């Protein structure tokens, strides 16, 4: 019997709205599930990490793929550092740099400093040349530290709804190796 890969989306600050590519993935792919947080606008790292761990409880982790966006990527890296679970893979899209002044305007707790330990599973970091939440140099640093494949998609903003990323079939294609 062939095991089914389960994909869990891990949105960032504010969650992903109805036109966001993560939401599109969930609507169109039968085995995609969103990790829900109690508080999307005032995130607490410890709580977000525990919600991720609880959502994966009982899953065959060898068949789990995580798809993070922005602060969701940072959550995944903190989760990996805390629990060390091996999963099938993670697609980390536009990981936001929580050590920048940009985050001073947002009430987040415990996400800094950026986790820079190697991830215990295969991963891809997708970044943009003009993302206001992370510089290309920092995205490269994260990918190198995490042991991730680096995917530069050019000038794509924060790779979100505001920058024109709704359906994003190219993003779904980046997951095909794990599906």
pLDDT digits (tens), the chain, 179 positions: 457 899 999 999 999 999 999 999 999 998 899 999 999 999 999 999 999 999 999 999 999 999 999 999 999 999 999 999 999 999 999 999 999 988 878 889 999 999 999 999 999 999 999 999 999 999 999 999 999 999 999 999 999 999 988 889 999 999 988 98
The reported pLDDT for the residue numbered 1 is: 41
The reported pLDDT for the residue numbered 102 is: 80
Question: What does each C-alpha distance from 115 to 139, 141, 156 come to in angstroms?
Answer: 13, 11, 24
The reported pLDDT for the residue numbered 104 is: 78
The reported pLDDT for the residue numbered 2 is: 53
Cis peptide before 23 (omega within 30 of 0): no
The reported pLDDT for the residue numbered 57 is: 96
Token output for 132: 């206001």
CATH architecture of the domain 6-175 equals: 3-Layer(aba) Sandwich (3.40)
Token output for 10: 């891990």
- Rounded-to-integer distance, Cα 62 and Cα 47, Å: 24
């Amino acid at each position: 019997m062939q095991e089914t890969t389960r994909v869990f989306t891990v949105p960032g600050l504010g969650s992903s709205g109805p036109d966001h590519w993560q939401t599109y993935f969930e609507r169109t792919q039968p085995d995609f599930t969103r990790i829900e947080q109690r508080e999307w606008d005032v995130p607490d790292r410890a709580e977000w990490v525990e919600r991720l761990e609880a959502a994966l409880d009982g899953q065959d982790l060898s068949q789990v793929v995580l798809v993070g966006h922005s602060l969701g990527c940072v959550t995944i890296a903190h989760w990996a550092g805390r629990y060390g679970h091996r999963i099938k893979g993670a697609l980390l899209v536009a990981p936001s740099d929580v050590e920048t002044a940009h985050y001073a305007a947002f009430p987040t707790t415990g996400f800094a400093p950026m986790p820079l330990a190697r991830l215990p599973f295969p991963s891809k970091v997708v970044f943009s040349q003009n993302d206001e939440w992370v510089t290309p140099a920092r995205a490269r640093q994260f990918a190198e530290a995490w042991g991730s494949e680096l995917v530069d998609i050019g000038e794509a903003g924060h790779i979100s709804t505001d920058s024109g990323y709704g359906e994003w079939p190219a993003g779904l294609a980046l997951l095909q190796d794990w599906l």
